[in-house]
Chains A and B, each alone.
Chain A
Amino acid sequence: MGLDNSAKRDFKIVGTRVGRPDGIDKVTGKATYGADISAPGMLFGRILRSPHAHARIVSIDTSEAEKAEGVKAVVTGADLAMPEDEYFADVSVNCLARDKALYDGHAVAAVAATSKAAAKAAIRLIRVEYEVLPHVTDVDEAMKPDAPIVQEGRALENVPAGMSQNVTSHFEFGHGDLDAGFAKADKIVERSFKTAATHQGYIEPQACLATLGGDGRGEVWCCTQGQYMVRTKCAHVLGIEASQLKVTSSEIGGGFGGKTSTFIEPVALALSRKSGKPVKIVMTRDEVLRATGPTISTSMDVKIGMTNDGRITAGKAVLRYQGGAYPNGTVEFGAQAAFAAYDLDAVQTLGWNVMTNRPKEIPYRAPGAPTAIYAVESVVDELCQELSLDPLDVRLMNAARKGTLSAYGPTFNEIGLVATLEAAKDHPHYKAPLGENQGRGLSCGFWFNFGGNTCVSLNLNDDGTVGVVEGNPDIGGSRASISMMAAEELGVPYDKVRTVIADTSALGFNDITDGSRVTFAVGLATIEAARAAIKEMCRRAAKIWDVDEDAVRWEDGAVVPAGPNAGKHDPMTLAEIAAVAGSTGGPIAGHHEVNADGAGVSFGVHLVDTEVDPETGYTKILRYTVFQDAGKAVHPDYVEGQMQGGAVQGIGWALNEEYIYGEDGRLQNPGFLDYRVPVASDLPNIETVILEIPNPGHPYGVRGVGETPIVPPLAAISNAVSRAAGVRMAELPMSPPRLLKAMQG
């Protein structure tokens, strides 16, 4: 059944605001997250971490720790396998270091003991002899030819000779004649930008409970964005087979990309294998900030030319992203996304990935895009200001639309950027007056959206209810959205459907919950699974009526005769067919397995008013409005929630959040007191406007919505602050001291 010719646009359930199936558990404290379960005879694991940014590990003496009261096992890197595949080898070495500690917080050994206190005491008895090496944490410093080398021999072939070995890969996108484009410009602005690394800041630290026997059979319970990913990585790092490891995802207390990798599960499994007992590891906040996924930090140059009436003639961006102590590819996303909002004749983006002595970068909501688009949208705003042009009119004049050859290659299909910009222009916010020390900023945002590997099983129960089994942890209400789409397609009430998330043994492989893929891809697979079940229900009804299969059809949740030749029969509902399934051929189910394509890109526009305090450099967010194309908002509350939550994370990135490293290469602010995420009193209401430009790649027109909202805030706020403060800002975060210094010239 082709999707394009079965597009559905009239909905009964999709688009309503139903309650969530996990609601009661989550408001009563019953929901079980990573740290909330225990096992009989369980031990507590604790990890020893490097205090040095870069050091050779000369020796590790665990003998005293092994003898300590209550200690049942001690492991080091030698207890994990060293996979031949470089990607999995990096996972292994990041879980427990081998010859070198690569950053402050790098795990070097772990213990399992009968109590938390015993485990904590025991790691202090492990003697590690370090030979401290020179370190580098800044991206520009790390690119210099004489910089300390984080890891040798990791650069790809496309990195030119003579660069530091810390530069591991290079990307280039674009089209057209840049020189000719800049020659046509009346005004050219070229600026350099820097952005600090931030953390996803999920409130639930990583936690797991693991058991593994000497026969290679084991189980893991953990908070993760992908139980299959955990299985794959653990199998490689422990040297066991995937079929023998069952991974169950707990309720997840936030992820935002930060729980798309594994840090503690392989360690807990190794401790369990050695001790013969289940082992629970719960990270502290300090460990989360020092050793799990911060974002890239960046250094960027952007040059854009514009005519006096606002047409962009050429754009060039050079992006330098450091991604911590291992190679990563995030700059590729940044280089692709930088100019995605524009229809340009001449555009080029160059990206460099760089290693430093920092924790390995892990994706954070639209990884790579917010910083690149921040730099581009800042320069566009400066040009608008210099040329006295309306910044929304300039965006509209240059906006990408259907048929635009995007800066990163593909030609856009149906996209919602123009509609989003027009909605912003028509909104009262854009016309509201501003006071002294106040400024208004805006920015476009973009994310590709992912599809990916997805399996769904849909089972009809004999009481006429429906069970959906899917394999993606529910991070923002997706079980409700999936149930809604199943109910819509089957023509049954929402509360007749229950969606559960399978463990790795109960359903085929699913990619992680990332890239704004779940409502799109799992939704698509659910609709297809429902259609398979409908086809089977039609077959069963035809059998009961003793007519051909093509003499019946599905209509409003029931099988009906397709025409007069089928005879007169009352419609048979799903419940009636399911009740007699045993006598018509057995249980009825539908399933669908797909590597989903056609995710449909997502655009948004943010408008923000700020007020800066000239005496302190403090920035207050006065008003904030988010406009975004959702394709089709399956559950509008959750779409708004993504828009609001992403915007506020972006506000934190723009104004406060920052990884601060000392001269010694150690993280100086590994706690929520000094790594300051936005709190309720920092913020106004976040207004939302959902646009619905259907995605042709989904039967209901759905686009992912989760990533795009974190992209525009950085530039929108920087532009608002720059206009309010009368000085062009080019570094994030715009913390009060930094802004005060800029204002004082």
Chain B
Amino acid sequence: MKNIQVETTINGDATEFLCAPDESLLDVLRDRLGLTGAKEGCGTGDCGACSVTLNGEVVCSCLVLGVETQGAEIGTIEGMANGETLHPLQRVFIEEAALQCGICTPGILVAAKSLLEKNPDPTDTEIRYWLAGNLCRCTGYDKIIKAVQVAAAEMRGA
């Protein structure tokens, strides 16, 4: 199959790539662009480890074709910190020990950031349902929910 040229914006940077018509956005990010922060846990949209934002919405990048992103704005974990300044969610995840192995962490951070942009003051239940598509096998989610709450309060200036 002939590769197709795609022009996108990734983490604010104009980015061009070539990909096969059947190649997932996740494979493009990881194999062609060296952005390995998004992880493949299942390849079927069940685990959320590959979560990125596509035009502001959280998606499983394993379920999006690279060619679908022509003209789109993509946000990945690599664009979350500002230089050496971590996003509050990133910093609080470390402080609250909200990660153990860390493989699900990029996807959860991308999803949680998107939640707080839409709902700056979520309940525990709202966080739990928002993150229900992001599997974590290490933590039992407890410290993740707490970390999102702590970061949300900080971002609200509470």
Contact = CB atoms under 8 A, between A and B. Distances in A.
Contacts of B4: none
Interface stretch (A432-440, A670-678, A723-731, A732-740): A670-678
Given A20-B97, A35-B40, A254 B129 contact: no
A256 B134 contact: no
A29 B138 contact: no
B43 interface: yes
A204 interface: yes
Contacts of B131: 679-681
A685 B46 contact: no
Contacts of B103: 33, 202-204, 253-254
A672 B135 contact: yes
Interface in A617-647: 637-638, 640-641, 644-647
Interface residues of B, number: 60
Contact of A680 (B47, B81, B91, B134): B134
B141 A680 contact: yes
Secondary structure of the A side of the interface?
Answer: loop
B128 to A, nearest CB: 4
Interface in A336-380: none
B44 interface: yes
A672 B94 contact: no
Interface in A666-702: 671-673, 677-683, 685-686
Contacts of A644: 139-140, 142-143
Interface residues of A, number: 58
A153 to B, nearest CB: 38
A33 B27 CA distance: 16
Contact of A28 (B30, B46, B77, B145): B77
Given A19-B95, A685-B145, A33 B39 contact: yes
A55 B87 CA distance: 54
Contact of B140 (A20, A282, A648): A648
Contacts of A201: 137
Given A253-B39, A254-B103, A476-B101, A28 B132 contact: no
B66 interface: no
B42 A477 contact: no
A254 B44 contact: no
Contact of B101 (A28, A117, A475, A637): A475
Contacts of B40: 35, 205, 282
A671 B77 CA distance: 25
A30 interface: yes
A26 B137 contact: no
A532 to B, nearest CB: 31
A2 interface: no
A32 B95 CA distance: 21
B42 A19 contact: no
B97 A253 contact: no
A23 B100 CA distance: 9
A680 B128 CA distance: 5
Contacts of A672: 41-42, 44, 46-47, 135
B137 A254 contact: yes
A641 B100 contact: yes
Contacts of A640: 97, 142-143
Given A20-B94, A677-B137, A680-B144, A31 B42 contact: no
A27 B109 contact: yes
A550 B73 CA distance: 69
B106 to A, nearest CB: 5
Given A671-B46, A679-B132, A649 B37 contact: no
Interface string B9-28: 00000000000101000010
B49 A203 contact: yes
Contacts of B31: 116
A24 interface: yes
Contact of B86 (A27, A205, A476): A27
Contacts of B104: 203, 253
A637 B37 contact: no
Nearest to A642: B100
Interface in B81-136: 81, 86, 90-91, 93-97, 99-106, 109, 124-125, 127-129, 131-136
A133 B106 CA distance: 45
A22 interface: yes
A284 B43 contact: yes
A672 B48 CA distance: 11
A204 B41 contact: yes
A546 B93 CA distance: 51
B36 interface: yes
A686 B47 contact: no
B42 A671 contact: yes
In order of increasing CB-CB distance, the 8 nearest A-B pairs are A29-B37, A253-B103, A26-B102, A648-B140, A637-B97, A644-B140, A672-B46, A23-B94
13 contacts: A24-B94, A27-B94, A28-B80, A202-B103, A203-B47, A253-B104, A640-B142, A649-B140, A671-B46, A672-B47, A680-B127, A685-B142, A686-B142
Interface of B: 20, 22, 27, 30-31, 35-44, 46-47, 49, 76-78, 80-81, 86, 90-91, 93-97, 99-106, 109, 124-125, 127-129, 131-145
